[in-house]
Chain A
């Protein structure tokens, strides 16, 4: 449950996220002792913003996402969503996992409907809403299929609308397209931007793919390893709506190179540390 700590910051729109001086230490029983996963990290995300957390594996980007979701408790610091301290997972923060997160025993429709059903939304309203969302992502004709009958891309589309149908303040995405093939991944990125431009909910998107981060975000938080921390913030001022062909533009390529240089050093460090 969330408790009101202070006056909400952005009272007009929901979806603000404040990460305040967040540290996470994992206790390990092996010879290495406690591991500092995340060190005094602070940042603020504004309502409706699309932010990518980018970094090599082991930089704590998923840890940050898990803290915002409420799956993990910080060792120090706190996370505020719309001015309320996060204490446990909740429907105000939708989550899209890397893969295989649809309930295998529910059809596409039932999976997307699940959150609404929990909240006690009436059947008629549920049906309209779910069908509308399934239509947006081209899954209406697959609404009665079970997850194992869907392709990887379809499963992730279903996961995305399953989160969005509950109109969360924040959508948290943990490398949702990492397991897809390159073509499908690009199509999914474009699709995600399309839906997002309609809904304008805040998105925090974790990825290790530089192109993906530049293509999607308003702002990239580039992370460093050991200990995990925000190394640099990169503003992405590319025009919206964005289509895949901007990936060939010189602005895009410049940003790409800039981020690449930033992250290269950290990647090397993470490889040395293993």
Chain B
């Protein structure tokens, strides 16, 4: 059932891209339509195959107790993980998942607003860059784990501390990408604005910010993933709920299959939320063309 739902989702996802491709090339719509349809089919096939391969090889390595450089003998196999997943979903899975999603989205949301806002200001105004950039760069390399003690001291409750740590994960990639995007504004386009009589505000709104959008979008995509990346760290902090908490808790009690399940769940939610961010930012940039090599 899960598989068919996924397939349906994939099919839905594919559709807009196919139409936009035919829209670009107006000369051969029918031919291109048929060709891209075939391509889509084969791409979906390849993508599902990649998952089958991934889990198949993993199962095989566990069953054969593979032990060369990496030891698979003690690792839970996909089947172990699957049964742990079924146990989890027959319990209060929804509460855990909802708790984690809420933290990540809150942290990411705040990071997106602050990261894009501050990034634009730093990228555009030299005095603001001079004022805040070095302290921010100083804080950037500090890993989320190192923030745990301070997060406990800084915030009134554990929930806020956890949101703060997921925020940290997303904030810096968004900030840096935004700054780079603003700084890479094409000088020709700035001159175009000046020659049309644009003052600072119009140059900023109509040239600098849209020009930085592709960079901002990649910052948001990376930031979304990084928020999930920091989830386990965040949920070590405290709490009784959360996928990260569950993963950590299972480690403490030496119950290994749920650890891997927790890891994969985080991976899956990260994947899906990143996809959503990617699609939404693409909707904001209908003017962008992306070309990729097809083999």
A-side interface residues toward B, CB under 8 Å?
A: 69-71, 88-91, 93-95, 97, 100-101, 103-106, 114-115, 118-119, 146-149, 162-163, 166
Contacts and interface: CB of A to CB of B under 8 A. Distances in A.
Interface class of chain B by DSSP: helix
Interface residues of B, number: 22
B290 to A, nearest CB: 11
Contacts of B196: 91, 114-115, 118, 162-163, 166
Nearest to A97: B188
Nearest to A162: B196
A70 B24 CA distance: 38
B197 A119 contact: yes
Given A97-B191, A97-B192, 19 more contacts: A89-B194, A90-B194, A90-B197, A91-B197, A95-B191, A97-B188, A101-B188, A103-B206, A105-B210, A105-B287, A106-B206, A106-B287, A118-B196, A118-B197, A118-B202, A119-B197, A148-B287, A163-B195, A163-B196
A48 to B, nearest CB: 20
- Complex A-B, nearest 3 residue pairs according to Cβ-Cβ distance, in ascending order: A91-B197, A115-B196, A89-B194
B286 A88 contact: no
A156 B154 CA distance: 57
A213 B219 CA distance: 48
A69 B210 contact: no
8 contacts: A97-B191, A103-B189, A103-B210, A104-B287, A105-B213, A114-B198, A147-B287, A166-B197
A88 B191 CA distance: 11
Interface of B: 24, 188-189, 191-192, 194-199, 202, 206-207, 210-211, 213, 285-289
A87 to B, nearest CB: 12
Given A103-B210, A105-B213, A166-B197, A95 B192 contact: yes
Contacts, number: 63
A60 B178 CA distance: 36
Q: In this complex, which of B188, B192, B207, B285 has the most chain A Cβ atoms within 10 angstroms of its Cβ?
A: B192
Nearest to B289: A148
Contacts of B211: 105
Contacts of A115: 196-197
Nearest to A114: B196
Contacts of B197: 90-91, 115, 118-119, 166
Nearest to B203: A118
Nearest to B284: A105
A67 B58 CA distance: 67
Contact of B195 (A91, A104, A106): A91
B286 A146 contact: yes
A158 B241 CA distance: 58
B187 to A, nearest CB: 9
A259 B287 CA distance: 44
Contacts of A100: 188
A101 B189 contact: yes
Contacts of A88: 194
Nearest to A165: B196
B110 to A, nearest CB: 27
B195 A94 contact: yes
B41 to A, nearest CB: 28
B195 to A, nearest CB: 4
B194 A114 contact: no
A205 to B, nearest CB: 16
Contacts of B288: 104
Contact of A149 (B24, B189, B192): B24
A93 B189 contact: no
Contacts of B286: 146
Nearest to B26: A149
A61 B248 CA distance: 69
A71 B191 contact: yes
Nearest to A168: B195
A239 to B, nearest CB: 33
A159 B287 CA distance: 17
A146 B287 contact: yes
B252 to A, nearest CB: 51
A73 to B, nearest CB: 14
